[in-house]
Structures are given as structure tokens and as C-alpha cells.
Amino acid sequence: MHAGGSSSRRHILSFLVAAWTALAGTQAHAICDAPLQGDGQVSAILDARTLRLDDGREVRLSGIEIPKSAETAGTAWLREHALKQRVMLRGSDDAPDRYGRQHAFVFAESSNVMLQGALGGNGHAIVSASAGDKACMADLKEAELRAESSRLGIWSQPQFIHDAAATDEILKYIGSFGLVEGTILSARQAGATLYLNFSRRRIQGFAVTISRRMMPTFAAAGMTAATLAGQRVRVRGWIAQHGGPRIEARLPGQIEFVSNTRTAAAGGK
């Protein structure tokens, strides 16, 4: 795990903020202005990502995941800042998921503050691996980076970012969303899958997988077997087990290049 807090670390985080702002196509601050999909008053906080509105709709906060260690603090933050407040819902559409929940970027009407950005900025949430409005996702990433730089909430936990070499530790988090950091020792294709191996023990060690059908998307972001091998990266996604621990990367934004001098966020597509 990585402690951070040094001047080098602060430089890295500052670079990342600038990189993600550039991805949003703005010079200073990305503006999440996805289409408006309704509004309402929050009548209940169901968990750290889910609200109920006064008309009965359940709304899931888009673009973030809530680590298990942040569930209590995140729920408490929403109760304090969102309960009984009027909110605006933004997103690409208002179609419900299979559980009947509408997914949206949610803004407090009185302050125009995006709730999930505030959660991330206070260290109660991390950016998800899902696709979404580029400006909205860049706002969320910038908030996450500020929280990491200030070591707020989950970022104060010394073991929050998993070391890719610590296979047994990562295996404890199967089925959860997490961050893993380490060096890609080899990149090889087997059948329809590209394997990014972080261990000499390819089967038992941690690896990231990219399916063949997604490879053109990664290649467009400058990510190929040749460019990834030997790189130190941070990966975010759902941790599964197939021999050793695995994360399937479906979007380039799940992989961030890390070095002693710079970190560059890739993709966000």
C-alpha cells in the first residue's frame, strides 16, 4: 500500500487533476451539464449512493462506488446535506435499471453542488469504472484527487490502495470494487483476452484482463500490449477470482499510468 503525502506525491496528484481537466475539454474546471432528467425533493436516504424522492422514485448516484469502509460516513453525509433538499437530476437518460432505480448525476438545487462530487471530495466515494458524461466524470475524478491529496476519509486508510504484489490480501476483497497499484511485468494475449500480469506467477498472481472486442478502444487511448508492459499503473474495478485475483478493464479510464515523476489518467471513455 502507498502512504503518499510527500512532495513527489503532491506533484503527481496535481498532474492528475490537470490531466483529467484537460480530458473534459476545459482550461480550468469541468462543468457537469448533462441533460436535465427531472427534479424532486429527497424524502429518504437509503444508503450512501441511493436516494428516495418525494414522488417515490429511487435515484442511484452515477459515476461513483462507495467502499465498504466509507458506507457509514457516506450515508451520514447524505443525511446531513441532502435529506429534505430539492435536487436536480442530470444524465443521458432516465431509464430505470432492473431494480427500478434511476441513475443520475444529482445536484442540490439550492447550491448547484453535485452530491457524488461532494462525497468523493470528502473521501467517502471513489470514481467508478462505468462510462458517463465526460465532463461529469472529470469533475468526479478531480474531486477524488483532491480528497486523496488531502488524505480525507478513505484516503487516510494506509491499506486502501491494494499492492498488486500482495495477492493474498487482494483475495480478501473478491466481489468488491477496489484500487490496485503495481508494475505490469508482462502483457500477453491468450485467445480473445489480453492479460496484464503483475506477477511472475501468471495463474496465481494479480492480473488485469482486456477482451479482444475492447482492444480497439484501448488502442485508441494509446494502450496496447507494447505500451503497457513494464509500466507502473493504478487499476480500478471489480475484483474477481479466476485462479488469482483479476480485474476486467472495459474502459481505458480504469487504468492510470504512475511513475515517480508523473501520473497520467488515460481514457475516461
**Tens digits of residue pLDDT in 22-53:** 333 333 345 888 999 999 999 999 999 999 99
Would you place residue 203 in the very low, low, confident or very high pLDDT band (cuts 50, 70, 90)? confident
17 pLDDT more than 80: no
Residue ranges with strand state E in the chain: 36-47, 50-53, 58-61, 64-65, 86-90, 101-108, 126-127, 161-163, 177-183, 186-190, 193-197, 207-211, 232-242, 244-248, 255-258, 263-265
For range 56-67, the mean pLDDT: 96
CA distance 156 to 174: 22
Q: Are 265 and 140 in contact (CB under 8 A)?
A: no
CA distance 262 to 16: 8
Q: Are 106 and 61 in contact (CB under 8 A)?
A: yes
CA atoms within 13 A on the CB side of 111: 10
User: Nearest to residue 37, comparing CAs of 124, 101, 84, 80?
Assistant: 101
Question: What share of the chain in percent tops pLDDT 90?
Answer: 74
- Determine the CATH number of domain 36-154: 2.40.50.90
> What would the pLDDT profile of 70-109 be if each residue is shown by its tens digit?
999 999 999 999 999 999 999 988 899 999 999 999 999 9
161-257 has CATH 2.40.50.140 classification: yes
For range 193-197, the mean pLDDT: 96
| Angle value at C-alpha 238, between 236 and 165, nearest 5 degrees | 65
The pLDDT of residue 129? 81
The pLDDT of residue 33? 87
**Residue 233, C-alpha cell as written in the block:** 499503473
138 membership: H or E segment, kind and range: helix 134-150
The pLDDT of residue 78? 97
Q: What is the rounded average pLDDT for all residues in the chain? A: 86
For range 116-138, the mean pLDDT: 91
9 pLDDT more than 90: no
For range 182-202, the mean pLDDT: 93
Q: 3-state class of 130 per DSSP?
A: coil
**Portions of the chain given CATH number 2.40.50.140:** 161-257
**Portions of the chain given CATH number 2.40.50.90:** 36-154
244 pLDDT more than 80: yes
